[in-house]
Amino acid sequence: MSIIAADVACPVGLCIEQAATSVAAGIARVEETSWVAPNGNPIKMGRLANDALPLLIKEIADDKSLTQHAQRLIRMGSIVFNVVGEKLTGLEGPLHGFFAMPEPMGNRQSDPTMLIRNAIRNSEAKLRLDSTNVFSGGRASIFEALLAAQALLQSSPNAIAIVGGIDSYHDPFILSHLGTQHRLLTEGAADGMIPGEGVGMIVCVDPSRMGSMNVSPLAEINAVGVAQEPGHLTSEDPCLGEGSSEAISQALANSQQVNQVFLSFNGEHFWAKEWSIAFLRHSDSFLREHGVHHPAEHFGDTGAASGAIMIALSAFAFSTGKAAGEHLVWCASDGPLRGACTLKNPSQQES
């Protein structure tokens, strides 16, 4: 698949250019909040500024079924849908959406399809999707979305696929849940995550359309892998890295050697251990001096948006000449879902 556009909104940038520049410069935006963890210390979080979020249109604002968390996801999503809409101007073809969304938590899960549709309604772009497909598996569900988009483009080469993710931990219920599990990185905690929030989206087309669309691809998605990890975070089984190893194996199909990796590390030791196990099984596929990036250190864990944001950052780096070779993006959900994909510079596209 060819990526022809990408954009993000996160605490260090409201567009891909800002976010990529901030991450490259080592800028972080994590702050103490007024929320307090069970140990009595303030919760640190990466957040978008409230005044940067678009207001809700009246019909959505008046919908009493929407929680404040759902409203925030809609407002965040509309930022990126605005940009995606602009980048799609003049491009023809059926438009389909594939979106990674948060893993269900308790009975507070809003209808993810409706959240996406409301985010589009709340944007100025007013995109019209022929289909809206959601994958509520958390961080790694972006790879399920990519596989579905890939299948669509193979069967309908004239279609256009928007693939993305939206998530936020900016919610007292979610933070309380994480706090009771002792997962928050606060003063005095040796292990834990910093919650964040963000949106990432890429626009994909079949490579065969490049000649007729008058656009240049940012990057090519080489292969995508998805698998299940029996020893996931909420399981009592030991984590042996089997799911991640399988997903990485699939993603490395037809690859040469990866020189940059993007990982959904969030500060919890669990993920570093799992990645290390899986990586060792495939170490021959990585350059010895490969770069390692975990953007959550700059703005917190962006949950289901993590993969889309990292793919967007990777593609943007290729398009601006700041990266070469092959990249691998890996994400692990709290549940069993694991996924990875490899990207390469468009000039490496095989004929």
Which tens digits make up the pLDDT trace of 22-66?
999 999 999 999 999 998 999 999 999 999 999 999 999 999 999
pLDDT (average), residues 196-218: 93
Length, in residues, of the chain = 351
pLDDT-based confidence at residue 283 (cuts at 50, 70, 90): very high
Under CATH, which architecture does the 219-348 domain have? 3-Layer(aba) Sandwich (3.40)
Question: How far lies 66's CA from each of 69, 159, 337, in Å?
Answer: 8, 32, 27
User: 228 CB contacts (<8 Å, ≥6 apart)?
Assistant: 243, 336, 337, 338
How much of the chain, in percent, has pLDDT values that exceed 70? 98
> Pick from 187, 157, 148: which is nearest to 37 by CA?
187
At residue 106, the pLDDT reads: 64
> How many whole angstroms separate alpha carbon 291 and alpha carbon 276?
15
Architecture of domain 2-213: 3-Layer(aba) Sandwich (3.40)
Residue 155: count other Cβ atoms within 10 Å of its Cβ.
9
List, for residues 143-169, the tens digit of each pLDDT value: 999 999 999 999 999 999 999 999 999
Can you give the pLDDT at residue 351?
A: 39
Query: What is d(CA 190, CA 4) in angstroms, rounded to the nearest whole number?
Result: 42
Report the alpha-carbon distance of residue 154 to residue 152 in Å, rounded: 5
Mean pLDDT (whole number) for 240-248: 96
135 touches 308 (CB < 8 A): no
Q: Which residues, listed in sequence order, are joined to residue 330 by a DSSP beta bridge?
A: 263, 340
DSSP class of residue 191 equals: S
Q: Which residue type, as a one-letter code, is found at position 5?
A: A
One-letter identity of residue 239: C
Residue 347 has pLDDT above 90, yes or no: no
Q: What is the mean pLDDT of residues 308-330?
A: 96
pLDDT at 107: 58
Four-residue CA torsion sign, 48, 51, 54, 57: positive
Give the pLDDT mean for 161-183. Answer: 95
**Amino acid type, 206:** D
Please indicate whether residue 182 or residue 312 has the higher confidence score (pLDDT): 312
Position 155, amino acid: S
pLDDT top residue among 135 and 234? 135
Mean pLDDT of the chain: 94
Structure tokens at 177: 């849940």
The yes-or-no verdict on residue 289 having pLDDT over 80 is yes
Domain ranges of the chain: 2-213, 219-348
| Token digits of residue 116 | 């996406």
Element (H, E) at 197: strand 197-205
Taking the C-alpha atoms of residue 84 and residue 88, their distance in angstroms, rounded to an integer, is: 6
Residue 349 phi, psi dihedral angles, 5° rounding:
-60, 130
Q: Residue 301 above 70 pLDDT? A: yes
